[in-house]
């Protein structure tokens, strides 16, 4: 119960959940959260690989820390953009944003 | 001390960014002043970059590699940046209060891309790529007024973060397979591991991240909306500068599959054909010139990829050359567009009518730019295509060359339509004559000369690019 | 074959420069000084003419081979050379180009609309043409080829006539679609040769495998054939010519169409002899169809320029047939026909252009009885028509004689059919002449004055060229076959 | 170049033949606006040419054939030479052309006086003279062909001289195209010879043919093809209908080109390479048949028309048919002799008719007769002389030549040809005297009243006409020609010995006597035979009586008092119609051209261009743009749809690799 594959499985699940969320959520916030899931899946991967088969156990952890930071920034930017959008079209539903096409 | 020299351009742009960060804190905006400052800084930055263009060495525990390849791209980036800043003279598309932020973000983005082109460690790559993306995420929605375009920001952001998420996951897989994040070691180990599904998946996902930046089909989906939605200057920046970085990264990474896996090459071939065809076909029906150029950029990504997927020195060299040529031609088109639409609105094709009367010089620059993009000699664009196709045919991909040429013919149609608008059509209403200041005149003349010079006398540049491509192996 | 006399003055580059310098000078003249612009362009055109005549005089056809060679490395890694040279095949073409340019510039003397751009583009076009003819390096041949094609678009679309934008777009896309086959073919040969030279003569030494030759030749034939108006890729020719302004039609039908045949000859047949042999039947077939088809389709046309366009199709068919025979006479005749047809069709278009400028119509039924009002102007057209019929003692007769002799020998059926093309061409040329110039004088054109002496000069020059080379074919044939005789040995 | 001036013969040849060209050039370039100057230049130059021709004839009368050659150009193994071949035949023809052209141009001074296109007329006359003379002395068949074409060109311009008349330009076009049809055959024949034999030099060709130097098959094919040229130029069946139409041109032109010289070019060419032809019995047989058919057909056509010039046109065709028959039957001299005499009296006939036409402004013999054609004494007598000569009445030139031909025909194994010849003679006499009687004894006399005013005017014209330059310019050449046609016949033997020298000599033939050459051999000995032909006198009687019979019939119908003046053919309207419509040949061609070419192929090809080829191209463009619209739906604004697309493709790629 304590093997690499377990972690990989979980991360894969996380990944697909995130992807699914991005693809079917109509709510921008929801999509943002699903993106975070993607990143976390990656994080989990890093930690797992790091734990089981990395020569230098630091790398994965460092990366994970970095990614967390980036994710925070990303969320901030995303939220600000969503906010600006909300000001303009009074909705955070993605279907409101499909005027540009063709 | 030498390390300092190696990192000099980046440092310089950091300082520039800081400067504008300070400006952005001030209460009373002074757009003209900002522009002057930005121009100075960018010019100095370009000088620094050129000065350090023959540096070589490693930095930051081998995460960061300074070689001819990276330096060439840094020069291109610096060049693009100063051009964009140069045309930001009257930045009508963006609220004056945000000009400081605009320049700040431009500099940050350039900095990030400079780091991107010379970082050889997955985390570094990811971080610098995120950094550049973030600044672009912020630049795109800065467009003021006109709610029609407000959605483009969020689209760009969403697609971007998804792509980066995929990429990160890919990176994690690569890390898991190769036990390392250093590209040079991956280059060594990966070919042997390429048979593993995890490795392939990782590679594909990572490339997906870069393809997103390059706006290659099917990761192009953001491009049309963003080109159309962002302020003209920002569009120019995305269309020119950020393309360079993406090209550089793809060239670096394509080496990863080390020519080992024919499957990978097949994938790239399919993508490049799809990208060329899709871009050109959809561009046929566009009315908004920026959107049209978005599609043409998708097609050009395809051409670029032809050069890359040969996976040999000649191919990479041709791709580098193509990127450089693309920078020049695309900028000369965008410069004219920004001049003509100096109130920052989105230019429709028919609004170009009578351009040859309003400003013959700009019209000529525009014409050369278009023909360059269409790949007609004696412009840089033609020589670029020629080199790329030559590389492909030399590798045995005759059909790629044929498809590419057929696509070039299709693309000619819409370029000619734009050209017709600029040279033939009678303007529907009387437009004011465009005031072309001395700098613009200088710029357009130099662009024209550059286009033709690159087209007819490619010798030096070609040998340079080859030297650069050799450093990749 | 390659007599590399590196020494001496770079005459060819100078000829090229006459156009490019002319172009630059025109660019820097303010557009309102139309008179000056015209004078400058005429000056540079005549300079080119003089140089070409000198070249023709100075070329030593007893020695034959490649002369006035200029050759140095241009791009090392790819093996691109700046390599120009003159032999018996491109020398007449150079002369033709200079003559047509000179007369064309003169013909357009009355142009008033956007003069500057017109002459600038025209010189760009002709620079390309000169380049293709003089260059012996595949890269440059292709570059100049495209350079000569794309100015057609603005030239037709801005200064053109009926359905100009449609015609311009159609013609440009059509022809550049052709180059979509040429470039890959060139690169293919280059790659097969090891990818280190575009030099025609170095490539020639490398034997390509028969299969490669077949592939490459077919692509080249299709690509260049489009420009040579090979049936069934001929439809751009009438449409484009109808749309184009006078001088452009002159240069286009007179010189540009020859680029196609020249390309097939210079690149295709030089590098892929076995391919040429393999496809020669196809070439003969298409050529013969072109001869008959062009003449017959021309019979029904009501637009003067359409008629000439179709006659060009028919005459270029003769060129194609001649090339297909792969024999000395055939190729001599083909090259001679290129030259003769160039001059002849230039005369055609210049006289039609005059008629159109005066009457503002090219529709045959609306015209008629012009001989009464403008005898001189119409005599030019009639003369050209006679040349087109292939009346003896005019240049094209000899060409047709040689081609048909070779054709009857090599492809008897095709040759005999082609001979019947002579009847058809007579029928439709005379028909046009009759409907346009004979019959009751048309009151609509009463007031029109006849052509002025000044404007008559270029036409007279063209006429005298036709007669001269008809009476003294030796002058040109000696030059041509000095290159052709060694050329055919490889088949 | 030096040789040109050192050798008087060459000099005379070059000068005489090429002077008209320069006069044409001068007229076209400089003196278009000065008619008198132009006419002087032209007449002067042609006079010089005629003198040159005569002096050449005199100088070389007893000399062996002369040949000048210089290389025109060479292409591959093909050497094209430019050269002159001066043998009795060419010299004789040169003289004929020179003299008649000169006379006609003088005549034209009167006939064309005051015509707007005066200069143009003389330019084209000179062009014709130049081309014709060069054709006559051409040294090689190719050169002959070239000038043959130029002659055709001149005839095109001269027929269409009144180009504002639609019918005229139409006739010109018809003549040119019909000739082209024949010429293509000619051209092909030459090409075959070039390929098979490699040399088109005339004497070489003849020798090679008789001495078996060329394969029989090649000779026959090429001979037949070359004979197409004869058919076209000499208006033989089936291409004979252009000649009557060619009468649209001015009458002097008809006199010169379309009776005396140009149309005789076909016969001339035939006799030029007679030995070559005679080496192929098949070709000769075909020629014989065609000649006979032509002669009969055209004579029948001449019997029903009322147009002066038409009658002479048809008779020209039939006489040419005679010559072709003679040649085909091996009667080399007979043909050439008839060519000579015919040139004389047919020109005479045309010029006389020209005077009538000029006087009465109509071509209809009945009207001319009514209005007192016979009042014009000189032309009336001359035209009668011409008619007599034409119908072969002793002692006029026609008698001798026609008799010679009949003798040759009689010598044929198959007597039907001889019968045909006799029948033709009857018809000839009939139609020519039908015309004469129409002029002399118009139906119910000359309309005094109506004619009176006419007569006043007419006589008035005469008065000032008789002193007038115009009249004499026309009358003098006519009288000269009349004199010629009276006396020419008596020079038969001199001419014969002169002409026969231009054939390869008999013993040479005898040395390599090959099956093909019998005709030629016969031809050569024929001259000698004919004199002591066993029943030569009988033949003579037959020939003459044939002519007289025809005249008698004509007299019975048109001449005598109270004659019906209807012609027996009017009792058979169907036949009348058949003859009048030229045996439906024209209609046949017209229909064929319209249905096959215009309605058929042309429209088909045009539609193909518009629909299929252009349609295809435009279709491709439309398709491309359409697919553009289609693909643009991928770019639906829906963010997540695009994301799905992205992910799907990435996933697909992954799957592709994993599996």
DSSP string, D44-65: HHHHHHHHHHHHHHHHTTTSPP
- Nearest of B404, B447, B201, B172 to residue B307 by alpha carbon: B404
Residue D451 predicted with pLDDT over 50: no
User: Tell me, what's the pLDDT at D459?
Assistant: 45
Sort out which chain D residues have CB atoms less than 8 A from A97's CB and list them.
Answer: 637, 639
Domain closes at, from D542, D558, D580: D580
Report the mean per-residue pLDDT for chain D: 84
Average pLDDT over residues C227-234: 89
**D47 shares its domain with D186:** no
Q: Determine which of B165-179, C459-473, D78-92, D535-549 has the lowest per-residue pLDDT on average.
A: D535-549
Inform me whether the C-beta atom of residue B401 falls under 8 Å from chain C C-beta atoms.
yes
Partner-chain contact B201 D628, CB within 8 Å:
no
Average pLDDT over residues A21-28: 88
**D539 shares its domain with D611:** no
Q: Is A15 left (phi over 0), alpha (psi -120 to 50) or beta?
A: alpha
Identify the DSSP state of D490.
G
Among 1.10.287.3510, 3.90.1170.50, 3.90.380.10, 3.30.160.20, name the CATH number for the domain at A4-101. Answer: 1.10.287.3510
D199, with CB counted inside 10 A (0-12, 13-18, 19+), is: middle
Residue D611 predicted with pLDDT over 90: no
In a domain, D521, yes or no: yes
Dihedral sign, CA of D60, D65, D70, D73? positive
A61, with CB counted inside 10 A (0-12, 13-18, 19+), is: middle
Indicate the pairing of strand C67-75 with strand B57-59: unpaired
User: Tell me, what's the pLDDT at C381?
Assistant: 92
Name the 3-class secondary structure at C446. Answer: coil
Residue D114 belongs to what domain range? 1-138
C24, C27, C77: best to mutate for the B interface, most B CBs within 10 A = C77
**Which two structure tokens, joined as six digits, stand for D611?**
């629909």
C-alpha distances in Å from residue C347, one per residue of B384, B451, C94, C228, C234: 40, 38, 18, 19, 21
Whole-angstrom distance, CA of residue D590 vs CA of residue D604: 19
User: Tell me, what's the pLDDT at D507?
Assistant: 47
Sort out which chain B residues have CB atoms less than 8 A from C147's CB and list them.
Answer: 376-378
Domain closes at, from D83, D118, D138: D138
**D490 shares its domain with D521:** yes
Nearest CA in chain D to B221: D642
Whole-angstrom distance, CA of residue B300 vs CA of residue B304: 6
Partner-chain contact C297 D605, CB within 8 Å:
yes
Q: What percent of chain B has pLDDT over 70?
A: 98
Residue D528 predicted with pLDDT over 50: no
- Nearest of B210, B251, B233 to residue B70 by alpha carbon: B251
Whole-angstrom distance, CA of residue D490 vs CA of residue D487: 6
User: Tell me, what's the pLDDT at D530?
Assistant: 46
Helix (H) or strand (E) holding B351: none
In a domain, D315, yes or no: yes
In a domain, D467, yes or no: no
Sort out which chain C residues have CB atoms less than 8 A from D603's CB and list them.
Answer: 300
Name subunits touching C (3+ CB pairs < 8 A). B, D
pLDDT in tens, C102-119: 999 999 888 888 889 899
Domain closes at, from D580, D600, D632: D580
Partner-chain contact D184 C420, CB within 8 Å:
yes
User: Tell me, what's the pLDDT at D455?
Assistant: 44
Whole-angstrom distance, CA of residue D401 vs CA of residue B281: 84
- Nearest of C346, C363, C375 to residue C450 by alpha carbon: C375
**D597 shares its domain with D556:** no
- Nearest of D335, D340, D252, D263 to residue D298 by alpha carbon: D263
**D205 shares its domain with D305:** yes
Nearest CA distance, C375 vs chain D (angstrom): 11
pLDDT in tens, C250-307: 999 999 999 999 999 999 999 999 999 999 999 999 999 999 999 888 888 888 888 8
pLDDT in tens, C397-410: 999 999 999 999 99
Q: Determine which of B58-67, D143-152, D408-417, D525-534 has the lowest per-residue pLDDT on average.
A: D525-534
Number of domains in chain D: 3
User: Tell me, what's the pLDDT at D515?
Assistant: 41
Whole-angstrom distance, CA of residue D337 vs CA of residue D319: 12
Report the mean per-residue pLDDT for chain B: 88
Dihedral sign, CA of C384, C385, C387, C393? negative
pLDDT in tens, C162-174: 788 888 888 888 8
Inform me whether the C-beta atom of residue B138 falls under 8 Å from chain A C-beta atoms.
yes
User: Tell me, what's the pLDDT at A3?
Assistant: 82
Give residue A1's pLDDT band: very low, low, confident or very high (50, 70, 90).
low
User: Tell me, what's the pLDDT at D462?
Assistant: 47
pLDDT in tens, C1-37: 344 444 578 899 999 999 999 999 998 999 889 999 9
**D280 shares its domain with D387:** yes
- The residue with greater pLDDT, D534 or D468, is D468
Average pLDDT over residues B300-327: 91
Whole-angstrom distance, CA of residue D440 vs CA of residue D223: 46
Task: Tell me how many degrees the CA angle B67-B73-B79 measures, rounded to the nearest 5.
Answer: 135
User: Tell me, what's the pLDDT at B299?
Assistant: 94
Task: Inspect the structure and tell me whether chains C and D have 3 or more CB pairs less than 8 Å apart.
Answer: yes
User: Tell me, what's the pLDDT at B259?
Assistant: 54
Give residue B177's pLDDT band: very low, low, confident or very high (50, 70, 90).
confident
Q: What percent of chain C has pLDDT over 70?
A: 99
Inform me whether the C-beta atom of residue A46 falls under 8 Å from chain B C-beta atoms.
yes
User: Tell me, what's the pLDDT at B471?
Assistant: 85
**D496 shares its domain with D641:** no
Task: Inspect the structure and tell me whether chains B and D have 3 or more CB pairs less than 8 Å apart.
Answer: yes
- The residue with greater pLDDT, A58 or C330, is C330
Burial B319-351 (b: 16+ CB within 10 A, else e): bbbbbbbbbbbbbbbbbbbbbbbbebebbbbeb
Sort out which chain A residues have CB atoms less than 8 A from B162's CB and list them.
Answer: 22, 35, 38
Residue D371 predicted with pLDDT over 60: yes
Give residue B1's pLDDT band: very low, low, confident or very high (50, 70, 90).
low
Give residue D522's pLDDT band: very low, low, confident or very high (50, 70, 90).
low
Residue B195 predicted with pLDDT over 80: no
Q: What percent of chain C has pLDDT over 90?
A: 58
**D391 shares its domain with D438:** yes
**D48 shares its domain with D146:** no
Whole-angstrom distance, CA of residue D223 vs CA of residue D228: 9
Residue D529 predicted with pLDDT over 50: no
pLDDT in tens, C407-429: 999 999 999 999 988 888 888 88
Whole-angstrom distance, CA of residue B473 vs CA of residue B183: 12
Name the 3-class secondary structure at C93. Answer: helix
Instruction: Name the residue among A19, A24, A101 with its Cβ closest to that of D637.
Output: A101
Whole-angstrom distance, CA of residue D131 vs CA of residue D144: 10
Residue D76 predicted with pLDDT over 90: no
Please name the residue that has the structure tokens 């006086």: D113
C58, with CB counted inside 10 A (0-12, 13-18, 19+), is: exposed
Whole-angstrom distance, CA of residue D589 vs CA of residue D587: 5
User: Tell me, what's the pLDDT at D278?
Assistant: 86
C-alpha distances in Å from residue A37, one per residue of A10, A73, B175, C35: 12, 15, 19, 74
The count of C-alpha atoms lying within 13 angstroms of the C-alpha of C262, restricted to the half-sphere facing its C-beta, is 33
Q: Is B439 left (phi over 0), alpha (psi -120 to 50) or beta?
A: alpha
Residue D456 predicted with pLDDT over 50: no
Structural contact between residues C322 and C228, judged by C-beta atoms closer than 8 angstroms: no
Instruction: Name the residue among C392, C402, C409 with its Cβ closest to that of D146.
Output: C392
Whole-angstrom distance, CA of residue D326 vs CA of residue B142: 104
Nearest CA in chain D to A26: D640
Partner-chain contact D639 A19, CB within 8 Å:
no
Give residue B260's pLDDT band: very low, low, confident or very high (50, 70, 90).
low
Q: Which spans in B342-470 are helix H?
A: 355-358, 360-374, 380-394, 398-423, 438-456, 459-470
Task: Tell me how many degrees the CA angle D42-D43-D49 measures, rounded to the nearest 5.
Answer: 90
Partner-chain contact D640 A99, CB within 8 Å:
no
pLDDT in tens, D473-503: 888 888 888 888 888 888 888 888 888 877 7
Whole-angstrom distance, CA of residue B438 vs CA of residue B433: 15
User: Tell me, what's the pLDDT at C1?
Assistant: 37
User: Tell me, what's the pLDDT at B60?
Assistant: 83
D479: preceding bond cis by omega (within 30 degrees):
no
- The residue with greater pLDDT, C369 or B409, is B409
Nearest CA distance, A20 vs chain D (angstrom): 10
* pTM for the full predicted model: 0.91
Interface A:D, Cβ pairs < 8 A: 26
Residues 389-428 of B with CB under 8 A from D: 410, 413
**D496 shares its domain with D628:** no
In a domain, D466, yes or no: no
Average pLDDT over residues C113-129: 92
- Note the maximum CA span of chain D: 120
Sort out which chain B residues have CB atoms less than 8 A from C165's CB and list them.
Answer: 420, 424
Residue D516 predicted with pLDDT over 50: no
C-alpha distances in Å from residue B193, one per residue of A47, B197, B302: 21, 9, 28
Average pLDDT over residues B88-108: 86
Instruction: Name the residue among C76, C158, C176 with its Cβ closest to that of B423.
Output: C158
Task: Tell me how many degrees the CA angle C30-C32-C34 measures, rounded to the nearest 5.
Answer: 100
Indicate the pairing of strand D66-75 with strand D78-86: antiparallel
**D286 shares its domain with D299:** yes
Residue D512 predicted with pLDDT over 60: no
- The residue with greater pLDDT, D569 or C74, is C74
Residues 366-395 of C with CB under 8 A from D: 369, 371-372, 375, 386, 391-393
Is this complex scored with an ipTM above 0.85?
A: yes
Rg (CA), chain C: 21
Residue B4 predicted with pLDDT over 70: yes
**D22 shares its domain with D54:** yes
Domain-wise residue ranges, chain A? 4-101
- The residue with greater pLDDT, C184 or C206, is C184
User: Tell me, what's the pLDDT at C142?
Assistant: 94
Partner-chain contact D160 C438, CB within 8 Å:
yes
Whole-angstrom distance, CA of residue C15 vs CA of residue C84: 11
C211, with CB counted inside 10 A (0-12, 13-18, 19+), is: exposed
Residue B169 predicted with pLDDT over 80: yes
pLDDT in tens, A72-96: 999 999 999 888 888 888 888 887 7
Average pLDDT over residues B344-352: 85
Inform me whether the C-beta atom of residue A60 falls under 8 Å from chain B C-beta atoms.
yes
User: Tell me, what's the pLDDT at B2?
Assistant: 66
Average pLDDT over residues A9-28: 89
Residue C147 predicted with pLDDT over 80: yes
Interface A:B, Cβ pairs < 8 A: 113
D618 φ, ψ (degrees, to nearest 5): -60, -40
Partner-chain contact B172 A97, CB within 8 Å:
no
Helix (H) or strand (E) holding C81: strand C80-86
C393 φ, ψ (degrees, to nearest 5): 65, 10
The count of C-alpha atoms lying within 13 angstroms of the C-alpha of A71, restricted to the half-sphere facing its C-beta, is 20
């Amino acid at each position: 119960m304590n093997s690499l594959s377990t972690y990989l499985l979980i991360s894969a699940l996380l990944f697909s959940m995130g992807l699914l969320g991005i693809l079917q959520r109509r709510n921008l916030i929801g999509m943002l959260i699903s993106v975070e899931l993607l990143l976390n899946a990656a994080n989990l991967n890093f930690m797992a690989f790091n734990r089981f088969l990395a020569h230098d156990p630091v790398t994965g952890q460092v990366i994970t820390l970095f990614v967390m930071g980036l994710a925070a920034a990303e969320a901030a930017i995303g939220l600000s953009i969503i906010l600006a959008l909300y000001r303009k079209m009074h909705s955070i539903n993605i279907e409101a944003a499909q005027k540009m096409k063709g | 001390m030498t390390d300092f020299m190696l990192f000099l351009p980046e440092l310089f742009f950091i300082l520039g960014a800081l400067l504008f960060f300070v400006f952005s804190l001030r209460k009373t905006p002074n757009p003209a002043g900002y522009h002057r400052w930005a121009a100075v800084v960018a010019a100095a930055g370009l000088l620094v970059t050129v000065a350090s263009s023959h540096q070589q060495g490693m930095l930051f525990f081998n995460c960061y590699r300074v070689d001819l390849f990276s330096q060439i791209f840094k020069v291109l980036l610096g060049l693009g940046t100063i051009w964009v800043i140069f045309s930001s003279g009257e930045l009508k598309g963006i609220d004056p209060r945000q000009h400081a932020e605009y320049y700040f973000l431009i500099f940050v983005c350039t900095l990030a891309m400079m780091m991107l082109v010379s970082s050889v460690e997955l985390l570094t790559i990811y971080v610098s790529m995120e950094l550049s993306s973030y600044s672009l995420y912020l630049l795109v929605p800065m467009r003021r007024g006109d709610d029609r375009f407000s959605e483009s920001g969020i689209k760009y952001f969403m697609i971007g973060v998804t792509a980066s998420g995929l990429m990160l996951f890919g990176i994690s897989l690569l890390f898991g397979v190769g036990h390392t994040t250093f590209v040079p070691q991956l280059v060594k180990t990966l070919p042997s591991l390429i048979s593993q599904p995890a490795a392939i998946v990782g590679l594909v996902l990572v490339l997906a991240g870069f393809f997103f930046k390059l706006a290659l089909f099917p990761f192009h989906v953001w491009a049309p909306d963003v080109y159309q939605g962002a302020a003209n200057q920002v569009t120019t920046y995305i269309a020119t500068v950020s393309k360079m970085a993406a090209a550089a990264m793809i060239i670096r990474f394509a080496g990863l599959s080390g020519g080992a896996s024919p499957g990978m090459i097949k994938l790239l071939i399919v993508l490049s054909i799809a990208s060329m065809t899709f871009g050109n076909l959809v561009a046929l029906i566009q009315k908004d010139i920026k959107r049209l150029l978005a599609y043409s950029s998708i097609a050009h990504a395809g051409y670029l990829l032809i050069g890359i997927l040969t996976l040999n020195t000649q191919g990479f060299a041709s791709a580098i050359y193509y990127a450089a040529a693309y920078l020049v031609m695309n900028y000369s088109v965008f410069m004219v567009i920004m001049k003509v639409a100096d109130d920052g609105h989105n230019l429709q094709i028919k609004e170009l009518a009578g351009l040859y009367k309003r400003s013959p010089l700009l019209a000529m620059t525009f014409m050369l730019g278009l023909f360059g993009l269409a790949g007609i000699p004696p412009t840089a664009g033609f020589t670029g295509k020629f080199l790329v196709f030559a590389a492909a045919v030399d590798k045995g991909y005759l059909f790629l060359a044929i498809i590419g040429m057929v696509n070039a013919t299709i693309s000619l149609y819409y370029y000619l339509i734009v050209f017709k608008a600029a040279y033939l059509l009678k303007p529907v209403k009387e437009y004011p004559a465009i005031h072309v200041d001395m700098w613009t005149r200088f710029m357009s003349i130099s662009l024209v000369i550059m286009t033709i010079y690159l087209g007819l006398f490619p010798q030096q540049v070609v040998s340079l690019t080859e030297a650069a491509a050799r450093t990749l192996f | 074959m390659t007599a590399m006399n590196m020494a001496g003055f770079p005459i060819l580059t100078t000829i090229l420069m006459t156009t490019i310098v002319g172009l630059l000078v025109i660019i820097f003249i303010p557009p309102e000084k139309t008179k000056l612009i015209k004078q400058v362009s005429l000056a540079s055109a005549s300079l080119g003419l003089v140089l070409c005549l000198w070249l023709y005089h100075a070329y030593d056809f007893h020695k034959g081979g490649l002369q006035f060679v200029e050759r140095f490395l241009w791009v090392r890694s790819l093996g691109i050379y700046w390599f120009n040279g003159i032999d018996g095949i491109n020398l007449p073409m150079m002369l033709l180009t200079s003559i047509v340019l000179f007369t064309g510039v003169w013909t357009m003397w009355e142009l008033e609309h956007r003069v500057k751009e017109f002459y600038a583009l025209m010189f760009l076009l002709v620079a390309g043409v000169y380049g293709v003819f003089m260059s012996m390096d595949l890269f440059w041949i292709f570059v100049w080829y495209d350079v000569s094609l794309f100015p057609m678009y603005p030239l037709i679309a801005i200064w053109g006539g009926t359905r100009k934008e449609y015609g311009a777009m159609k013609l440009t896309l059509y022809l550049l679609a052709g180059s979509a086959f040429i470039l890959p073919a060139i690169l293919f040969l280059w790659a097969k040769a090891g990818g280190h030279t575009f030099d025609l003569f170095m490539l020639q030494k490398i034997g390509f495998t028969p299969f490669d030759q077949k592939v490459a030749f077919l692509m080249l034939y299709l690509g260049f054939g489009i420009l040579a108006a090979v049936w069934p890729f001929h439809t751009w020719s009438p449409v484009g010519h109808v749309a184009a302004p006078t001088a452009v039609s002159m240069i286009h039908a007179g010189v540009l169409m020859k680029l196609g045949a020249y390309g097939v000859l210079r690149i295709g047949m030089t590098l892929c002899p076995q391919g040429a042999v393999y496809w020669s039947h196809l070439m003969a077939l298409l050529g013969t169809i072109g001869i008959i088809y062009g003449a017959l389709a021309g019979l029904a046309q009501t637009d003067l320029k359409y008629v000439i366009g179709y006659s060009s199709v028919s005459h270029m068919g003769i060129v194609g047939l001649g090339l297909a025979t792969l024999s000395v006479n055939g190729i001599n005749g083909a090259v001679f026909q290129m030259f003769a047809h160039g001059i002849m069709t230039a005369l055609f278009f210049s006289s039609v252009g005059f008629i159109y400028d005066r009457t503002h119509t090219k529709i045959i039924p609306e015209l008629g009885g012009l001989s009464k009002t403008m005898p001189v102007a119409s005599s030019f057209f009639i003369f050209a028509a006679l040349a087109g019929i292939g009346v003896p003692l005019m240049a094209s007769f000899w060409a047709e004689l040689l081609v048909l002799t070779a054709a009857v020998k090599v492809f008897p059926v095709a040759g005999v059919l082609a001979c019947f093309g002579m009847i058809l061409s007579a029928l439709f040329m005379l028909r046009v002449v009759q409907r346009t110039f004979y019959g009751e004088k048309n009151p609509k054109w009463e007031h029109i004055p006849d052509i002025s002496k000044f404007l008559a000069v270029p036409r007279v020059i063209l006429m005298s060229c036709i007669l001269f080379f008809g009476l003294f074919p030796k002058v040109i044939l000696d030059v041509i076959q000095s290159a052709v005789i060694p050329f055919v040995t490889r088949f | 170049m030096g040789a040109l001036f050192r050798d008087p013969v060459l000099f005379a040849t070059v000068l005489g033949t090429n002077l008209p060209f320069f006069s044409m050039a001068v007229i076209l370039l400089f003196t278009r606006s000065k008619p008198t100057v132009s006419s002087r230049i032209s007449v002067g130059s042609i006079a010089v040419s005629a003198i040159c021709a005569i002096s050449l004839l005199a100088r070389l009368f007893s000399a062996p054939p002369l040949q000048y050659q210089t290389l025109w150009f060479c292409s591959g193994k093909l050497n094209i030479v430019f050269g002159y071949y001066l043998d009795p035949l060419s010299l004789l023809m040169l003289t004929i052309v020179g003299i008649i052209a000169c006379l006609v141009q003088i005549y034209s001074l009167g006939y064309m006086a005051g015509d707007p296109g005066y200069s143009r007329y003389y330019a084209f006359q000179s062009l014709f003279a130049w081309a014709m003379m060069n054709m006559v002395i051409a040294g090689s068949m190719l050169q002959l062909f070239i000038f043959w074409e130029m002659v055709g060109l001149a005839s095109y311009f001269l027929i269409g001289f009144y180009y504002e008349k639609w019918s005229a330009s139409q006739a010109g076009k018809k003549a040119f195209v019909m000739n082209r049809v024949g010429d293509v055959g000619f051209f092909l024949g030459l090409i075959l010879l070039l390929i098979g034999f490699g040399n088109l030099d005339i004497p070489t060709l003849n020798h090679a043919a008789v001495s078996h130097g060329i394969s029989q098959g090649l000779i026959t094919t090429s001979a037949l093809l070359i004979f197409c040229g004869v058919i076209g130029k000499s208006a033989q069946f089936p291409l004979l209908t252009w000649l009557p139409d060619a009468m649209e041109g001015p009458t002097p032109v008809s006199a010169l080109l379309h009776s005396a010289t140009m149309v005789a070019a076909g016969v001339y060419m035939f006799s030029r390479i007679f030995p070559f032809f005679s080496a192929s019995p098949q070709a000769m047989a075909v020629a014989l048949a065609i000649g006979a058919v032509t002669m009969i057909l055209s004579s029948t056509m001449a019997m029903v028309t009322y147009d002066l010039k038409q009658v002479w046109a048809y008779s020209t065709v039939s006489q040419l048919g005679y010559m072709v028959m003679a040649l085909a039957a091996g009667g080399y001299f007979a043909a050439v002799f008839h060519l000579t005499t015919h040139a004389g009296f047919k020109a005479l006939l045309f010029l006389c008719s020209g005077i009538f036409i000029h006087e009465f402004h109509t071509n209809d013999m009945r009207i001319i007769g009514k209005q007192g054609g016979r009042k014009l004494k000189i032309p009336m007598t001359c035209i009668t002389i011409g008619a007599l000569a034409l119908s072969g009445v002793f002692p006029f030139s026609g008698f001798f030549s026609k008799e010679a031909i009949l003798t040759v025909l009689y010598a044929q194994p198959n007597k039907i040809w001889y019968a045909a010849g006799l029948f033709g003679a009857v018809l000839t006499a009939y139609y020519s005297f039908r015309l004469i009687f129409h002029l002399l004894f118009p139906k119910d006399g000359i309309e005094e009243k109506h004619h009176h005013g006419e007569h006043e005017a007419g006589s008035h014209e005469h008065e000032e006409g008789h002193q007038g330059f115009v009249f004499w310019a026309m009358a003098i050449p006519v009288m000269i020609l009349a004199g010629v046609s009276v006396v020419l016949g008596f020079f038969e033997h001199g001419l014969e010995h002169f002409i026969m020298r231009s054939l390869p000599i008999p013993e040479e033939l005898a040395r390599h006597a090959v099956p093909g050459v019998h005709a030629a051999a016969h031809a050569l000995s024929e001259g000698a035979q004919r004199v002591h032909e066993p029943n030569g006198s009988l033949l003579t009687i037959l020939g003459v009586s044939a002519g007289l019979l025809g005249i008698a019939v004509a007299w019975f119908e048109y001449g005598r008092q109270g004659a019906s003046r209807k012609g027996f053919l009017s009792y058979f309207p169907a036949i009348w119609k058949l003859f009048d419509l030229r045996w439906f040949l024209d209609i046949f061609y017209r229909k064929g051209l319209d249905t096959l070419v215009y309605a058929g192929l042309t429209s088909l090809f045009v539609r193909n261009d518009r629909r299929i080829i252009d349609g295809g191209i435009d279709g491709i463009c439309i398709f491309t743009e359409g697919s553009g619209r289609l693909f643009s739906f991928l770019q639906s604004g829906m963010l997540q749809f695009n994301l799905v697309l992205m992910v799907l493709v990435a996933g697909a790629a992954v799957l592709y690799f994993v599996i």
